[in-house]
Amino acid sequence: MLIATVLALILVALVLASGLPQPVRRATSGVALLISCSSLATVCLVRSRRSQTGRRQAWALFGAAAGAAALGNAWLTVVDLAGLIELSQVGDALILASVALILVGLLAYPFGPRHLYDFVRLLLDTIVLGGSILLILSNTVLPRVAEHPTSGTIALVLAPVIDIIMATVIWLLVLRARPADRIGLALTAAGFVLFSLSEIAAAIGRSHGAFSFGSVTDIGWITGYALLTIAIMWSPSTFPTPPDVDSIDRSPVVRSLVIFAVFMVAGWLSLNTMSRGTDPLTVLVLLATVTVAILVRQMLLLADNDRLRARLEQRVAERSTELAEVTQRTDLMVNSVEDGVYGVDSLGRVTFMNPAGDRLLGTRRNELLGLPAHQRFHSHPPGDCYLRAILHTGVAITGIEDSYWTTDGRQVPVEVSASPMTDSRGVRGVVVVFRDITRRREVDQLKNEFVSMVSHELKTPLTAIRGSLGLLAGGALGELTPPATRMVEIAVESSERLTRLINEILDMERIEAGSLPMEIGSHASADLLGAAHDQVQVLAADAEVGVLIERAEGTVLADADRVVQTLINLVGNAIKFSPPGSQVVMEAAPEDRMVAFRVIDQGRGIPADRLNLIFERFEQVDSSDARDKGGTGLGLAISRSIVHRLGGRIWAENNPDRGSTFTFTLPADSDGQVEDGR
């Protein structure tokens, strides 16, 4: 469509600029004007039918304007071909009426929310810019028209002036409109500029009796109507109304520069004209009107700037008050918590510490702000710290035990929960909540000592019970009846289970007390996995679960028996909670300066809120597991104690599909051979 329009305009321009007979060029110009005006009227009416109620009236006015222009151009073409130039005023009147209808349509078009101030600004800008352009014309073009006055001189002068005013209004709308409207309005303004140029050329020609249709002058009208048609087709049918818009002034600086530049040119030409002795009355009146409009415009701008500044200051004050209230409430909540709360930035520097935290650490208020946490109170080295892990991964941790240094050199056991502080740029810091668990540790110690004492005291009579049951089962007191034999078997199994429980409790106590001997040596992970694999075969066969070693790489510095004990605990649990026909996978692989051992099952998985708790004493996923699956609830706690004693760490996580993975790390032997046990 656009390419066809451009080609048609080029063809018409070639015809009008050629040496073809005048009647041919007149007819070509008339047909082109009629087609361009009719096309404009058609697209306006179509847009009117498709638009919303608020826009429908404006597009209908545009269509009526295009229709009036089509009738006016048709009339002018006919009277020109007939030689009845004196009747051309009817066509001029129709064209002026079309311009007026376009102006009314622009005022009715809903460009967005308007206030009275916006309309006054637009009116003043129009007076200043249009008056300045009129001053320029009155000092350059209009005197040439007035040299040969005719009955239609007023119409000749009025037509380009109205076109220029229209172009001015639309240009101001371009500067104030949204980006979606600017292209269409710019094309419309360009069309009226072409109209004014053709009108000026025609006015000069008519005043000297040298104008007729069919000349190059007609290209301005034809192209102008084509630009208006393209502008309407380009204009979006709908666009959203932005919220809370006090003014749609998008380019105040550009608009002011344009207005003052045109006014300065007009003023210079006016002064130059008056200096030559030309009648200054009309020029003085017009110049005074434009000057007054500029002064009023500037006063309105100053008043509007004061209003906007006052509103901005009010909003800033309101936001500042709201922010202060929010900050006060936040500080009150944080300061009222009995647990210690502090934050660190991305570099591990303390950004805040609540009063409870200062009391627990023995520091003064704000003493730790800006200082690295590791250098002041955190016992972990930076490389092994959970704070650095959270800053790197953005994953929160809950309920882990740690220890902090106080200002008097004491090491206080604490329970820590930490969460990342994130925004659109990523993790910006960590907020940590910690509480002193010294009292809890003391209670746990008393409980453990009591349990240890009871366990030791139970071991002696339990040994006697097992011995007596063994004698009964062996027939030392005579052959037992089948029911008695079954009862003895149940008693033996129960005593063995109780013995295992007591042994595990004692092992736990020795490990935590540091009294359990550890024989550290270099061991291939393949040998450790193989030993554990062999010892769980009977259990795996009974449960119909396969156990395989998928990968066995690396050499560790550890106690082989304790590592195998840990693997048996993990694999045994995996077998218990895996369905028949599934597989449990064991693997080991070097990671940095450690070797990671993994036990992967296809069981039911572990609830996310219990992934850390299952390593505590007597903790199980389900309270019925002890009854249905057996076990004491100490296996994972013992495994964690062994791994920590050997310098590693242990954790559990759920697999993406099903089941869970238990992982523990041990220090690698950098001098050992790396073996592959696959």
- Which pLDDT score, from 0 to 100, does residue 663 have? 94
Is the C-alpha dihedral spanning 201, 203, 206, 208 positive or negative? negative
635: domain CATH number is: 3.30.565.10
CB 418 within 8 A of CB 431: yes
Nearest to 499 by CA among 456, 469, 538: 456
Name the average pLDDT for the chain. Answer: 77
- Which pLDDT score, from 0 to 100, does residue 431 have? 92
Nearest to 75 by CA among 98, 99, 102, 93: 93
H helix or E strand, kind and range, residue 167: helix 153-176
- Which pLDDT score, from 0 to 100, does residue 568 have? 92
Strands 583-591 and 546-552: parallel
Domain boundary among 418, 436, 454: 436
Note whether residue 302 is domain-resident: yes
- Which pLDDT score, from 0 to 100, does residue 532 have? 93
Taken as a whole, the chain contains a residue count of 678
Residue 53 predicted with pLDDT over 70: no
Nearest to 203 by CA among 278, 95, 277: 95
Number of H helices, E strands in the chain: 21, 12
Same domain membership, residue 480 and residue 370? no
- Which pLDDT score, from 0 to 100, does residue 242 have? 41
In angstroms, rounded to a whole number, what is the distance separating the alpha carbons of residues 305 and 248? 14
Domain boundary among 513, 537, 552: 513
Residue 225, domain extent: 2-237+250-306
Same domain membership, residue 199 and residue 116? yes
CB 408 within 8 A of CB 362: yes
Total domain count for the chain?
Answer: 4
- Which pLDDT score, from 0 to 100, does residue 558 have? 92
Same domain membership, residue 465 and residue 411? no
Same domain membership, residue 170 and residue 30? yes
Calculate mean pLDDT across residues 545-573. Answer: 92
CB 650 within 8 A of CB 640: yes
H helix or E strand, kind and range, residue 373: helix 373-376
Q: From the CB of residue 504, how many other CB atoms can be counted at a distance below 10 Å?
A: 20
Which pLDDT tens digit goes with each residue over 262-300? 656 655 655 555 545 445 565 666 667 767 777 777 777
Least confidently predicted of 209-213, 422-426, 547-551: 209-213
Residue 677 predicted with pLDDT over 50: no
Which pLDDT tens digit goes with each residue over 498-542? 777 777 777 777 776 666 677 889 999 999 999 999 999 988 998
Note whether residue 311 is domain-resident: no
Bridge partners (DSSP) of residue 590 are 595
Same domain membership, residue 446 and residue 352? no
Beta-sheet strands, E only, within 256-384:
340-345, 350-353
CA distances from 260 to 122, 124, 318 (A): 15, 13, 38
Token duo for residue 424: 């659109």
CA distances from 396 to 330, 386, 434, 640 (A): 21, 9, 14, 21
Beta-sheet strands, E only, within 426-544:
426-436, 520-524
In angstroms, rounded to a whole number, what is the distance separating the alpha carbons of residues 4 and 301? 46
Note whether residue 316 is domain-resident: no
Note whether residue 117 is domain-resident: yes
CB 423 within 8 A of CB 429: no
Least confidently predicted of 366-370, 379-383, 408-412, 503-507: 379-383
Note whether residue 454 is domain-resident: yes
Q: Which residue has the higher pLDDT, 131 or 268?
A: 131
- Which pLDDT score, from 0 to 100, does residue 384 have? 66
Same domain membership, residue 269 and residue 134? yes
Note whether residue 653 is domain-resident: yes
Same domain membership, residue 526 and residue 499? no
Same domain membership, residue 98 and residue 188? yes
Which pLDDT tens digit goes with each residue over 195-204? 777 777 776 6
Same domain membership, residue 43 and residue 106? yes
Same domain membership, residue 524 and residue 430? no
27: domain CATH number is: 1.20.1070
The band of 386, judged by pLDDT with boundaries at 50, 70 and 90, is confident
Strands 520-524 and 555-559: antiparallel
- Which pLDDT score, from 0 to 100, does residue 655 have? 86
The band of 162, judged by pLDDT with boundaries at 50, 70 and 90, is low
Through-space distance between the first and last CA atoms of the chain, rounded to whole angstroms: 72
Same domain membership, residue 187 and residue 278? yes
Q: Which residue has the higher pLDDT, 213 or 150?
A: 213
Q: Which residue has the higher pLDDT, 257 or 190?
A: 190
In angstroms, rounded to a whole number, what is the distance separating the alpha carbons of residues 659 and 577? 9
Q: From the CB of residue 352, how many other CB atoms can be counted at a distance below 10 Å?
A: 16
Dihedral, CA atoms, 11, 13, 19, 20, nearest 10 degrees? 60
Same domain membership, residue 542 and residue 485? no
The band of 595, judged by pLDDT with boundaries at 50, 70 and 90, is very high
Find the angle CA(456)-CA(462)-CA(467) to the nearest 5 degrees. Answer: 135
458: domain CATH number is: 1.10.287
Note whether residue 244 is domain-resident: no
Calculate mean pLDDT across residues 173-179. Answer: 65
406: domain CATH number is: 3.30.450.20
